[in-house]
Structure 1
């Protein structure tokens, strides 16, 4: 019975440590406001753009660049806040596909024009 407890404990620790969020913020700019936003989190009152996609990378590639195209949401073309979120499901997909597919969850806020 003890080995099952240790395996379960190890699985729980792996699940909890594999989920993390990294947020980068520009100190010199002002975030683009959104007066109609009804969020109650960190991004309250800001115009947030969310990307939730899966990207494909070749095994021989060392890095990948995801281009953010100019939209009406980002009139200034400058980014004030970027948040990258990694989850256990994203790590599992990356492991199963040997690094060829990656699940990306990004939130960003543009600077005020």
Structure 2
């Protein structure tokens, strides 16, 4: 019974510590506005692009680069804000596949296009 409680506490501790998000913001730019956005969170009034995908990395590669291009979602092609979120499921996938697959949850806001 004591071992079961210890195991449950250990699993809860790992779950809580493995879930975090990091937000990076440029203070010199203006975020691309979205007047039709109905968000009530930090990104209220901003045009947010959300990516929730699994990326595959070769065992010989050490990094992965995501290219942001000029498009309808990002008119300027410049980033104003990026948020990276790590979850327990992403950590498990990374561990089980020995780092070959990583679950990525990214939110980014582009800079307003200057005239």
TM surpasses 0.5: yes
Gaps of 5+ in 1: none
Give the TM-score normalised by structure 2: 0.95
**After the TM superposition, which segments of 4 or more aligned residues of structure 1 sit over 2 Å from their partners?**
none
Aligned to 2:111: 111
Q: Secondary structure at the match of 1:80?
A: strand
Give the TM-score normalised by structure 1: 0.97
Aligned to 1:14: 14
RMSD: 0.7
Number of equivalences: 113
- TM alignment of 1:17-28, pairs within 5 A: 17-28=17-28
Gaps of 5+ in 2: none
- Structure 1 residues 3-49: Cα deviation after superposition (integer angstroms, max 9, x where no partner): 11011000000000000000000000110110000000000000000
User: Are residue 89 (structure 1) and residue 89 (structure 2) matched?
Assistant: yes
Distance 2:52 2:83 in 1: 12
